[in-house]
Structure 1
Amino acid sequence: MSAGYDPNNIFGKILRGEIPAHKVYEDDMTLAFMDIMPRAEGHVLVIPKEGARNLLDVSPDTLAELMKRVQHVAKALQAAFHADGLTLHQFNESAGGQVIYHLHFHLLPRWDGVALRPPGTMADNEKLAEQAAKIRAALTPFTG
């Protein structure tokens, strides 16, 4: 059961500009930014600007629009990193692996024979900035 949305989570703070992030994509309803503890080169998080705890309580309309942006960012990510594939992760509640209680999708570029790194290692800030720029350069205009 969802305990409700707390706007003071770290992603809420990023949305309000209280904490910096390496932004990849932003529009009126979505923000995509680099994961600071990436499990793969180019690991991106895509979140709605609507305060939703997870998949179980987001509005269906927001979810539908959000998934269009997830796909849009995924295409740029795959192109920017010449990835063989992509992994999409999304977790719900602590039993499902959720740690930050703001709906978010992990996009991870994948290459044949390359395993994901274990979680928990901070990335170099300059490297994240370079990767974000690389992804932004590969984005095409969003047409919905």
Structure 2
Amino acid sequence: MRKDDCIFCKIANGEIPSETIYEDDMFRTIMDLGPASKGHALILPKQHYRDLCDLDRETAEKVLPLAAKIGEAMKKSLDCKGFNVVQNNGKEAGQTVFHYHVHLIPRYEDGPDMVSWAPGKADPEELKQTGAAIRSAL
């Protein structure tokens, strides 16, 4: 399914031009217009899924191998030392376009600090209660 009012559906299906670096029958991978680093790309499914929880099994099974393939190509061609695979779900998690997509962000030696956090401290009882709450919802 595609959504007529979704900009990522339009980009993924070639209705809006983009700098495409990879395309097959299920995905289009484009250069991000607001890159976090040189080479930042987005993997867009051609079908519309709001977020990870909406994704179908076939797409889910193919997206991470594709991310690895493109990430390896980034390391070879851009001389980056690694890459982040980032996928946001929901406004509070940083999702701004509600069409499932994956960010591939090349990371360079001595590059800026991004996609990181300071580890907090967890109380063992809180971990136990939180774990129980999540298990009960599965």
Matched-pair identity in %: 33
Answer whether contact 2:71 2:104 (CA < 8 A) is retained: yes
Structure 2 gap ranges (5+): 115-138
> How far has the Cα of 1:111 moved from its partner?
1.1
> How far has the Cα of 1:99 moved from its partner?
0.2
> How far has the Cα of 1:23 moved from its partner?
0.2
Structure 1 gap ranges (5+): 118-144
Q: Which residue of 1 aligns with 2:39?
A: 42
Residue 52, structure 1, aligned to residue 49, structure 2: yes
> How far has the Cα of 1:50 moved from its partner?
1.9
Paired residue total:
113
Residue 104, structure 1, aligned to residue 101, structure 2: yes
Q: Which residue of 2 aligns with 1:139?
A: none
- Pairwise mapping of residues 1-144 of structure 1 onto structure 2 (< 5 A)? 6-115=3-112
Letter in 2 for 1:18: E
Quote the Cα distance in structure 2 between the aligned partners of 1:104 and 1:19: 16
Identify which of structures 1 and 2 has the higher relative contact order when contacts are C-alpha pairs closer than 8 Å and 6+ apart: 1
Answer whether contact 1:40 1:116 (CA < 8 A) is retained: no
Answer whether contact 1:7 1:51 (CA < 8 A) is retained: no
TM-score by length of 1: 0.72
TM-score by length of 2: 0.75
Please tell me whether Structure 1 or Structure 2 has the larger radius of gyration of its CA atoms. 2
Quote the Cα distance in structure 1 between the aligned partners of 2:108 and 2:95: 25
